[in-house]
Amino acid sequence: MIYLDNNATTQPTALVVEAMLPYLTECYFNASASTAAFTGADKPRLKAAAAMAKLLNAEEPDCFSFTSGATESNNWVFSSLARGRKDGRVLISTVEHASVDEPAAELARIGFEVIEVPVDVHGVVRLDAMRDALREDTALISIMAANNETGVLQPVAEIGRLIREVCPAALFHTDATQAVGKIPVDLQCEWQDVDLLSFSAHKFHGPKGVGGLYIRPGFELEPMILGGGQENGLRSGTTNTPALAGLASAASEAHDFNPQAMCALRDTFEALLQDELPEAVIHSRSVPRLPNTSYFSLPGMLGEQLIGALATSGIIVGTGAACSAGAIHSSKTLRSMGVAHDMAVGGLRVSLSRYSTIQELTEFIVQLTSATLTQRS
Ligand code: PMP
């Protein structure tokens, strides 16, 4: 199989699997037991926190609370706000993931004023609109670091500076699920104004079902899950030691990863694609993007049909368009960018991993060309 859908999930590395195994076999003990330091069950969490602090240059390992993944972390940010107050202004962008959109909609239902800040034609959050929407009493701003479809990098540092200028007390959250492990992140330098950051291990070659939330020292959130008091009382539930061992290993490997070669491979792919299929329109090509993501549309084609045809030839890619109740819906991201419907439904996303090769990408182009000929005939 040729797997080119790594923004959906990635393959755990051999080191990740190796790191997890002892905690599924001989060291299956409870990390919260008073004997944890003797059994070694306390190690995965300690290692995961230290590796995340190093990867994101956070102040200290204690800044991290571990969760089941970014969906939970994102929900936590919004539910914590709703526990402390019943109204206020919340800003998100028009291209957020559903795990931000839905909790924001829930806040709107209970009385918060939720504003969706638009993006420009390239999918970048408009700083002028952001400045207009910010008020002195804004409670929360949640803007993703990198878009899961286009790979567009949002101007997190600039947004942070704007927030500190207009409403210094507001909480600034970024859903960095697609950014962590793919681009350098520095929470004490460029991203020093970010207060809360969500991440997920399975997007950077770690296991599924584990991720976390960075909480800047000095900020307090309401607990996410009540119970036995794990995660410093913020997120109860028996510590998932195998998953945290995997996360620790994935974060360490990501720290040593250099995205340059991946970026060059993506650029070579896009050049080859345009040679073979000149009608392909590559979205957001002129703005900063993740090094692994290429999102393009083939006019007159249906992305859903193409991914089906490609899957039967053993090639897995993504599309933002979805078919439900007999109608084809284009991706919200492309709609927000003003991409016409017939173009947006022909969207395909190729997202590379550290293991992707030029041979795989060349084969993809061959199979895609043949699938477009079949669809046209
Ligand atoms: N945010 C973004 C931008 C994502 O791409 C995803 C995963 N598709 C999530 C949040 C949810 O992550 P998880 O699978 O860890 O719940």
pLDDT, one tens digit per residue, over 34-93 is 999 999 999 999 999 999 999 999 999 999 999 999 999 999 999 999 998 889 999 999
**Ligand 1 atom closest to Cα of residue 8:** 8
**Ligand 1 atom closest to Cα of residue 144:** 3
* Site to substitute for ligand 1 among 99, 152, 183, 290, most atoms within 8 A of C-beta: 99
* Site to substitute for ligand 1 among 203, 208, 240, 290, most atoms within 8 A of C-beta: 203
DSSP E strands in 44-150: the ranges are: 64-67, 89-93, 113-117, 138-142
* Site to substitute for ligand 1 among 97, 142, 153, most atoms within 8 A of C-beta: 97
**Ligand 1 atom closest to Cα of residue 200:** 15
pLDDT in tens, 339-352: 999 999 989 999 99
Q: Which residues line ligand 1 (CB under 6 A)?
A: 69-71, 97, 99, 144, 148, 175, 177-178, 200, 211
Return d(Cα 174, Cα 145) in angstroms, integer: 6
Please state the separation of Cα 77 from the chain's center in Å.
15
pLDDT in tens, 256-305: 999 999 999 999 999 999 999 999 999 999 999 999 999 999 999 999 99
How far away, in angstroms, is 317 Cα from ligand 1 center? 17
Backbone angles phi, psi at 360, to 5 degrees: -65, -40
Q: Is the pLDDT of residue 329 over 90?
A: no
Please state the separation of Cα 31 from the chain's center in Å.
28
pLDDT in tens, 349-372: 999 999 999 999 999 999 999 999
51 within 8 A of 45, measured Cβ to Cβ = no
Return d(Cα 261, Cα 271) in angstroms, integer: 15
* Residue 231, token pair as written in the block: 């995660």
Q: Which residues contact 342 (CB under 8 A, 6 or more apart)?
A: 299, 300
| Closest by CA position to 289, among listed 352, 346, 230 | 352
What's the pLDDT band for 324 if we cut at 50, 70, 90? low
269 within 8 A of 294, measured Cβ to Cβ = yes
Active site residues: 323
| Closest by CA position to 148, among listed 121, 173, 184, 123 | 123
Q: Whose CA is nearest to atom 5 of ligand 1?
A: 148
Q: Is the pLDDT of residue 310 over 80?
A: yes
| Closest by CA position to 331, among listed 296, 361, 356, 280 | 296
* Backbone Cα Rg of the chain: 21
pLDDT of residue 377: 76
Burial per residue of 12-30, b for 16 or more beta-carbon CB atoms within 10 angstroms, e otherwise: bbeebeebbebbeeebebe
Q: Whose CA is nearest to atom 16 of ligand 1?
A: 71
pTM, two decimals, is: 0.97
Furthest-apart CA pair in the chain: how many Å?
68
Helix axes 14-24, 241-255, angle to 10 degrees: 160
How far away, in angstroms, is 177 Cα from ligand 1 center? 6
Q: Mean per-residue pLDDT for 96-100?
A: 97
Q: Whose CA is nearest to atom 8 of ligand 1?
A: 8
